[in-house]
């Protein structure tokens, strides 16, 4: 007798009348196109998305049997960056962006994945840093457009419309 086959999640869909399960993954695992995981119910699933796919909190995935699963951001170790001075947070955001460090913009400040070197860096800039176990959903990277590249290969911005 063969073992039952795993539900294979292959398609991202926009909406569903019914959601059959929840797949909680931390940020790093939501960047993998192929993986095995457990739904909140304990059912094992296989993720088989196109290469380069990045799952976001709230995405809906359709399985090979038609069932739909919602992706949620799992709690993970993060740092909450706060400051009464918005300029401190702006400088932290600029520094993190230049270093291509994923950051989540929150009403109260910034959230980044926990890393001791980053903690020391943003604390030295004046941010209050608190370790928290929390879902992490950083800002999406801007799409890459064709055309003339700016510094460091970034897309050139047409600011004045000329």
Query: What domains are defined for the chain?
Result: 7-73 (2.60.260.20), 75-135 (3.30.70.790)
d(CA 88, CA 101): 17
**Are the CB atoms for 73 and 26 separated by under 8 Å?**
yes
**What pLDDT sits at residue 1?**
53
Digit-coded pLDDT (tens) for 81-104: 999 999 999 999 999 999 999 999
Residue 19 has pLDDT above 70, yes or no: yes
What residues form DSSP beta bridges with 8? Answer: 46
Digit-coded pLDDT (tens) for 111-128: 999 999 999 999 999 999
d(CA 118, CA 135): 18
Question: By C-alpha distance, which of 36, 31, 41 is closest to 6?
Answer: 36
**What pLDDT sits at residue 4?**
63
d(CA 21, CA 45): 11
Question: By C-alpha distance, which of 88, 86, 75, 81 is closest to 119?
Answer: 81
Digit-coded pLDDT (tens) for 48-69: 999 888 999 999 999 999 999 9
Question: By C-alpha distance, which of 116, 115, 89, 117 is closest to 104?
Answer: 89
Is the overall model pTM greater than 0.85, yes or no? Answer: no
d(CA 107, CA 130): 16
């Amino acid at each position: 007798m063969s073992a039952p086959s795993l539900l294979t999640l292959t398609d991202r869909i926009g909406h569903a009348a019914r959601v059959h399960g929840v797949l909680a993954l931390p940020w790093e695992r939501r960047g993998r196109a192929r993986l095995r995981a457990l739904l909140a119910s304990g059912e094992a699933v296989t993720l088989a998305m196109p290469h380069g796919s990045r799952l976001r909190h709230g995405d809906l995935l359709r399985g090979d049997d038609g069932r739909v699963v919602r992706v949620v951001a799992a709690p993970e170790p993060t740092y909450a960056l706060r400051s009464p001075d918005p300029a401190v947070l702006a400088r932290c955001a600029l520094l993190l962006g230049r270093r291509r460090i994923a950051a989540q913009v929150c009403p109260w400040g910034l959230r980044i994945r926990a890393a001791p070197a980053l903690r020391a860096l943003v604390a030295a800039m004046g941010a209050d840093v608190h370790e928290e176990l929390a879902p992490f959903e950083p800002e999406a990277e801007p799409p890459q457009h064709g055309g003339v590249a700016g510094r460091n290969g970034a897309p050139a911005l047409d600011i004045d419309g000329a």
